[in-house]
DNA sequence: GGTTATATATACCGAACGTTATGAAAATTC
DNA sequence: GAATTTTCATAACGTTCGGTATATATAACC
């Protein structure tokens, strides 16, 4: 009994590593945004030609979506990790310190989700909606975590979980904006400290 | 003795109001960002043709700069107003409520300064630097105000004015991002309330 | 009225954009 | 080894971009 060999590659084998190429594409999108990254920028960074890119990834929009998946999987892993913290303050601390680590990188500064959510040309509207939807999902997860925290008596009675989720999200987004504007890591760190020092209920 | 009449218009008079045209251009830039706003978008909204635009405003970059001036003069007037508040908390409150008013507009959402600071194509790098510089100036003014507040004993001894300025700026920037992502006014308002409720020293 | 100066409208420019047709190269299958 | 299938490299596609040349219209000056 033989396993059918139809699954092995049939034609000429691909000469590049799609994972490495996708990682390179992510760097370009991260640094320049969706519209700011031209196909020429992408193919140069990925080390492949345009037909190879189209054959492997579909088109620019599909490439961006795949890069966004990679970004969430690798760089935003701290998000799901932070939600597991035992207290609301612990969640906030994990969020802020994790974001600080990612946003203040050497080459890519800020958060791809925030960069991609910026208003740009009409043809990128679909991209914007996609990015905004993913951001909204993260904010929703944070809201549910804070609602649970309030039930646990982990938050003062007068604080609104919805507002708190929007507030923490805003601080993170603002951190991304400042990182993109060239703020140093220590400047962002001060920001984190203030936010933690004034966290409701200690 | 006659005043020389050389100052009156000599050729064919302009058929449009440059102030109104600039206001229309500002709306387009505000909604779509610098690169997202095409010359076709701009001329249509301004109700003039491309040669008229170039004759009156120079080029796209100069038009954006003039629109940015108008934006700061008209929409960001609350900034200099807020800095005059007697206490640091009052400054923050004026800032947050003023921003809430501007960012949650009907057509244009978020802050043009935050939108313009987003990474985009290489040729818009000059624009980005200009916008970032203006944002840095505002942050600097806030820093100086908080330093004075600390001297006045208006802030707890353990808070760092630099961090506090970066922190408040971040909340405002985050508010802009969420407004741009479609957050309702009440959502932004909750955010403001949390920030004020947790403001250092009450 | 003739001259001069400015504004308008149409049409066009070269460059860059995302995308694809075309043919040669390299692997498997028979 | 011939047929087949997929990838690669070059070059081109049509469109849109920001910006302009040209010609005509409309005002003030003399």
Q: Cβ of residue A52 near strand D, that is under 7 Å?
A: yes
**A84-106 mean pLDDT:** 95
| Beta carbons within 8 Å of A85's beta carbon, 6+ residues apart | A91, A93, A94
pLDDT > 80? residue A65:
yes
Determine the distance between B54 (CA) and C11 (C1') in angstroms: 16
Going by C-alpha positions, the residue among B190, B29, B182, B122 that lies closest to residue A131 is B182
For domain B75-197, say whether CATH 1.10.357.10 is its number. yes
Left if phi > 0, otherwise alpha if psi is -120 to 50, otherwise beta: which for B164? alpha
Determine the distance between A22 (CA) and D3 (C1') in angstroms: 34
Chain A contact set for B118 (CB, 8 A): 33, 115, 118, 180
Among A172, A194, A200, which would you mutate to test the B interface (most chain B Cβ atoms within 10 Å of its Cβ)? A194
**Third-level CATH fold of A13-69:** Arc Repressor Mutant, subunit A (1.10.10)
Question: Which token pair is B173?
Answer: 């920037």
Chain A contact set for B197 (CB, 8 A): 158-159, 200
| Beta carbons within 8 Å of B139's beta carbon, 6+ residues apart | B165, B166, B169
Residue B131 near residue B116 (C-beta atoms within 8 A): yes
Chain B contact set for A33 (CB, 8 A): 118-120
Rg of chain B in Å (alpha carbons):
20
A169 to chain B: closest CA residue: B174
Determine the distance between B27 (CA) and C6 (C1') in angstroms: 28
Please count the CA atoms within 13 angstroms of the CA of A118 that sit on its side-chain side: 35
Residue B164 near residue B89 (C-beta atoms within 8 A): no
pLDDT of the residue at A119: 65
| Beta carbons within 8 Å of A139's beta carbon, 6+ residues apart | A165, A166, A169
Residue A56 near residue A18 (C-beta atoms within 8 A): yes
In this structure, what are the phi and psi dihedrals at residue A105, rounded to the nearest 5 degrees?
A: -65, 170
pLDDT of the residue at B1: 33
pLDDT of the residue at A38: 96
- Name the burial class of residue B51, with classes exposed (0-12), middle (13-18) and buried (19+) by CB atoms within 10 angstroms of its CB: exposed
Tell me: the pLDDT tens digits for B76-122? 999 999 999 999 999 999 999 999 999 998 888 899 999 888 867 88
pTM higher than the cut 0.85: yes
Cα separation, B49 vs B56, in Å, equals 11
The domain ranges of chain A are: 13-69, 75-197
**Residue A10, min C-alpha distance to chain B (Å):** 40
**Mean pLDDT for chain A overall:** 92
Q: Which residue has the tokens 């640094």?
A: A31
Residue nearest to nucleotide D28 (CA to C1'): B10
**Residue A178, min C-alpha distance to chain B (Å):** 7
Left if phi > 0, otherwise alpha if psi is -120 to 50, otherwise beta: which for B9? beta
pLDDT > 90? residue B45:
yes
Q: How confident is the model at residue B202 (pLDDT cuts 50, 70, 90)?
A: low
Distances (CA, A) of B165 to B56, B91, B112: 39, 11, 20
Please count the CA atoms within 13 angstroms of the CA of A183 that sit on its side-chain side: 30
Going by C-alpha positions, the residue among B23, B100, B162 that lies closest to residue A189 is B162
Tell me: the pLDDT tens digits for A153-185? 999 999 999 999 999 999 999 999 999 999 999
**Residue A37, min C-alpha distance to chain B (Å):** 7
Tell me: the pLDDT tens digits for B50-79? 999 999 999 999 999 999 999 999 999 999
- Residue with the bigger pLDDT between A86 and A9: it is A86
Among B163, B184, B186, which would you mutate to test the A interface (most chain A Cβ atoms within 10 Å of its Cβ)? B163
**Residue A15, min C-alpha distance to chain B (Å):** 30
pLDDT > 80? residue A105:
yes
Chain B contact set for A38 (CB, 8 A): 121
Distances (CA, A) of B158 to A184, B18, B198: 22, 51, 15
Nearest by CB to residue A194, choosing from B119, B167, B174, is B167
Q: What percent of chain B has pLDDT over 90?
A: 85
A32·B119 Cβ contact <8 A: yes
pLDDT of the residue at A167: 98
pLDDT > 70? residue B7:
no
């Amino acid at each position: 009994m033989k396993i059918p060999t139809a699954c092995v590659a049939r034609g000429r084998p691909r000469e590049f590593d799609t994972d490495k190429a996708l990682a390179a594409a992510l760097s370009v999108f991260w640094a320049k945004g969706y519209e700011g990254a031209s196909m020429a920028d992408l193919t140069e960074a990925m080390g492949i030609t345009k037909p190879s890119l189209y054959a492997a990834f579909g088109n620019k929009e599909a490439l961006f979506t795949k890069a966004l998946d990679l970004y969430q999987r690798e760089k935003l892993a701290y998000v799901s990790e932070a939600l597991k913290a035992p207290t609301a303050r612990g969640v906030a601390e994990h969020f802020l310190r994790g974001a600080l680590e990612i946003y203040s990188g050497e080459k890519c500064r800020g958060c791809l989700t925030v960069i991609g959510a910026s208003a740009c040309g009409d043809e990128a509207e679909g991209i914007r909606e996609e990015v905004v939807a993913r951001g909204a999902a993260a904010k929703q997860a944070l809201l549910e975590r804070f609602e649970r925290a309030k039930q646990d008596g982990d938050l003062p009675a007068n604080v609104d979980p919805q507002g708190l989720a929007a507030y923490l999200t805003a601080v993170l987004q603002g951190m991304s904006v400042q990182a993109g504007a060239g703020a140093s890591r220590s400047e962002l760190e001060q920001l984190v400290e203030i936010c933690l020092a004034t966290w409701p209920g200690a």
